[in-house]
Structure 1
Amino acid sequence: MQLPATFDGLIDEANQLDLYKKLILQLNKDFLLANIDLDFHEDILPSSLKLLLHETIYKLIQEKFTEYLNLLYIIDVPERQVKALDDKDLIILAEAVSFLILKREWQKVWYKNHY
């Protein structure tokens, strides 16, 4: 499986395979498991999804770092990828982590659908 390199690429692929709603459901499931009060509506626009996820990750990093780490653990975002990110600007870091989360969730959805 070749993972998309951009947010738009990921969303395009999810829409082409008719898996966008499953991606949202997977996000909701993992956020619930992490005990984070965030529930994306199934019909959320990709731009709204990106913005809301970015904003949530930013707040978690700043205010609830333990919950942030727990979320990354539950979603199973590779630690080496997170450590490789530049953490000097929290806004950019939150955006990059949001994309890592979406990529990992996309992997789960794709594999469940494919196999």
Structure 2
Amino acid sequence: MSNSIVFTPPVTTDGLLSEAEKEDLYLKLIEQINKDFNFANEAIDLPLTIQPEELKSELHEKIYRLIQYKFAEYLNLLYIVDVPEDQVKKLDGSDIAELSKQVAFLVLKREWMKVWFRNKY
């Protein structure tokens, strides 16, 4: 009998953020987001006191601006965060606002996965 821990990513942004809070990893999630955005030279500088709704909004806004005005930097960010390319390709890019919201969720999900695994292992 193995002791394998299965990571099941939340299916919504709100679900993900509430799970991060529940597991006391919300601050680590913010730190991870700040770290990866800085590494991609696209600082987002989220304060550790940021509320989940604000975090969601800031992330969405930042990704929207990157898609709109700095596409190469946007692609670099996705690479650094390690968002699976196939997941991004499945998204409908016809509405930039909707696309950036979905990409923000993929970024959050990947960052959450990093934080969650680091905490478990």
TM bucket normalised to smaller:
over 0.9
SS at match of 1:77: coil
Instruction: Give the distance between the partners of 1:91 and 1:20, measured in 2 at CA.
Output: 25
Partner of 2:110: 104
1:55 partner amino acid: E
Which among 108, 113, 119 is matched to residue 113 of structure 1? 119
The corresponding residue for 1:76 is: 82
Q: Structure 2: which amino acid aligns with 1:53? A: L
Q: After the TM superposition, list the runs of 4 or more consecutive aligned residues in structure 1 that deviate by more than 3 angstroms.
A: none
Pairs within 5 Å for 1:84-103: 84-103=90-109
Q: Percent identity?
A: 58
| C-alpha distance in 2 between matches for 1:71 and 1:34 | 5
Question: Which of these residues, 58, 63, 75, is aligned with residue 57 of structure 1?
Answer: 63
Q: Give, as a single letter, the amino acid of the residue that structure 2 aligns with 1:19.
A: L
The alignment's TM-score, normalised by the length of structure 2, stands at 0.94
Structure 1 stretches of 5 or more lacking a match? none
Give, in angstroms, the shift of residue 37 of structure 1: 2.6
1:5 corresponds to which of 11, 32, 44: 11
- CA RMSD in angstroms comes to 0.5
Structure 2: runs of 5+ lacking an equivalent = 1-6
Tell me which amino acid in the other structure corresponds to 1:88.
S
> Aligned letter for 1:7?
T
Question: May I ask how many residue pairs the two structures share in their alignment?
Answer: 115
Q: Secondary structure of the residue that 1:3 maps to in structure 2?
A: coil
Shift of 1:38: 1.4
Tell me how far apart the structure 1 counterparts of residues 68 and 17 of structure 2 sit (CA, whole Å). Answer: 27
